[in-house]
Structure 1
Amino acid sequence: MQSVQVSEYMNRHPVVFHENMAIEEAVELLLKTEQRGGPVVDDKKKVIGFLSEQDCLATMLRDTYHKEQTATVGDCMFRGDVLTVKLDAAVMDLAQNMSAHKPKIYPVTDYQHKLVGIVSRTDILRALDMHLRDSYDQKTKKTKSR
């Protein structure tokens, strides 16, 4: 399991956002794809932030209260150090990291720091489940062959 890489389970075609995108457009994309959030990238596909459903909810609630609709992704995205993972990272390592940290979605980058996909807790859970099922099936086959 240690040799299983994030690249085997990541979403290679995630919803991504740009700073100047209207928040309404971003929300529409999130709703259509049922993705919980996504990376904000610059023109070179480098991750510069992250936009979550929570960010969108807070912004839209504020805008509704003030009867305004002028926010952009750049106005409400997280701009700090976004936790990313390399595409060749071990699934087990990321699973341990996910159990200790809050992010539900990690942007996946290559070694030039360009976005190549995302990986979610659900993706990692799927990888662990498949591994456990394979191990159980192999154990059952060995027991039956004796």
Structure 2
Amino acid sequence: MLKFARNLRLKDLEIFMIYKESISLGYLVIEDLRRPLTLEDIQTTFVYMVEDDLENYKNIIKVDIVSDESLLSEDKELIEFFSDGLVDTKDYCATLYSYKVDSSLFEELKLPEDVSFYQKLLLSIGSSYDVSNLHLDNLMYLSQD
């Protein structure tokens, strides 16, 4: 059984730690890109779509799973199922899933995580989201802006 602990919740970004039998498997990062689907997206990432689909998708939600080693296919399925429950009810959104193994990221892991770690995590998945000016001590509300 997998367990998820939300470590960070911002307006357009959520980061969860994934556990299996009390051992960390990695991170689940959900980012609202707040941009429509483009022709380039269809040509590179969403290759199963056609140009007519551009009108149907007004936003992209990116879901990244980052771990220190390859995950079992059953664990991937459970993580996707959990993620779908968070994002699939959004109309006009395309969801992009990616998996990344980055053992060096986990070698530097500090407990508890700090802003610099979250920024490294985001950079490792190619995110342009900047949390460097974030003060974790000031996050006390359910929905952070």
Identify the TM-score tier after normalising by the shorter chain. Answer: under 0.3
TM-score (structure 2 length as normaliser): 0.24
Q: Does 1 or 2 have the higher relative contact order (CA < 8 Å, sep 6+)?
A: 1
Select the structure that is richer in strand: 2
Select the structure that is richer in helix: 1
TM-score (structure 1 length as normaliser): 0.24
Which protein has the larger Cα radius of gyration, Structure 1 or Structure 2? Answer: 1
